[in-house]
Chain A
Amino acid sequence: MAKPQIDPRGPRFGAAITATALAVTIYLGLDASTEAAAFALLLVLTALFAIGAIFGTSKHPYAWLFKTFVRPRLGAPTELEDAAPPQFAQAVGLFVAGVGVVLHLAGVEYGLVAAAAAAFVASFLNSVFNYCLGCQMYLGLKRLKVIR
């Protein structure tokens, strides 16, 4: 059975938006007066990660943005990629953002900022350096028996 294929530039475009939103989250989360806004933003990002992790990145709103506004200006991709690796990256993002939500609700100071910073680094590397979380982490997590 052929695995679903996607334009590899799509997830990188999405990661750029995510990274920008996370940078804003860090900024807002650092001050008590805007912490509520940071939390709201992180909740939205967590929900978006959940869509990507559960339904795949092709069902993600950013994929629609990419298909509608970006891809027509880029032309055809030189090659397609499996859809599974970016979906794995979304699951990692969901986990990290979810930890941020829980830490914030538990009243841990700067827990939200720390989680947003970790997620920022991952999505920034994905977008700018084409870093692939699935390539780097999946096997290691499996060997450590973190995932089955």
Chain B
Amino acid sequence: MDQTSRLLLVLGVITLATILGLIWRTTQGRAKQLKSGLQVDLKELGATKNGLPVTAFGERITFLQFSSEFCATCKSTARVFGELEEHSSDVLHIEVDITNRLDLANKYNILQTPTTLVLDKRGVVQSRIGGAPKQNTLEEQLGTFVI
């Protein structure tokens, strides 16, 4: 194969990867409204916080974050939610490692981690955020739950 064709093919692969990356980036960290009305079962979730089982939802909003073992962005995502929680007492952040909880992964159809479900005060799923949430996504979500 001549040199020009080879260079063009390599450039083509680079372009393809760039397009894929740009598309992927726009899908990440945005909230998608869910109308399923799925009620989260805290018992089934078996989540703990500071060593204690979680028995109640946030008074205004709960961010239910699903993480896994090989997830690089889960930790920073948890930190962002942790800061939100510190600033407002009616916000709750729950993190569940679903590496060995495929039942939960299947039930909530989790394909990537972190995936965050946004719950209202009754624990009904309102929206889902795939990937590390963008700052304006969080502000929007908090804004829709103002009492």
* A65 in the interface (beta carbon within 8 A): no
- Say yes or no: A134 contacts B72, CB within 8 Å: yes
Contact between A88 and B70 (Cβ–Cβ < 8 Å)?
A: yes
Residue contact B9 to A85, C-beta cutoff 8 Å:
no
Number of A-B contacts (CB under 8 A): 97
- Of B24, B70, B105, B106, the residue contacting A85 (CB under 8 A) is B70
Contact residue range for chain B?
35 or more
Nearest B residue to A142, CB-CB = B102
B111 & A140 in contact (Cβ 8 Å cutoff): yes
Interface string of B92-133 (1 = CB under 8 A from A): 000000110010011000111110000000000000000100
List of A residues within 8 angstroms of B7 by Cβ: 27
Whether, in the assembled complex, A121 has its beta carbon less than 8 Å from a beta carbon of chain B, the answer is: yes
Smallest CB-CB separation from A122: which chain B residue? B17
Contact status A140-B112, CB under 8 Å = yes
- Tell me, rounded to whole Å, the shortest Cβ–Cβ distance linking A113 to chain B: 8
- The residues of B with any CB-CB pair to A shorter than 8 Å are 1, 5-7, 9-10, 13-14, 16-18, 20-21, 24-25, 68-76, 79, 98-99, 102, 105-106, 110-114, 131
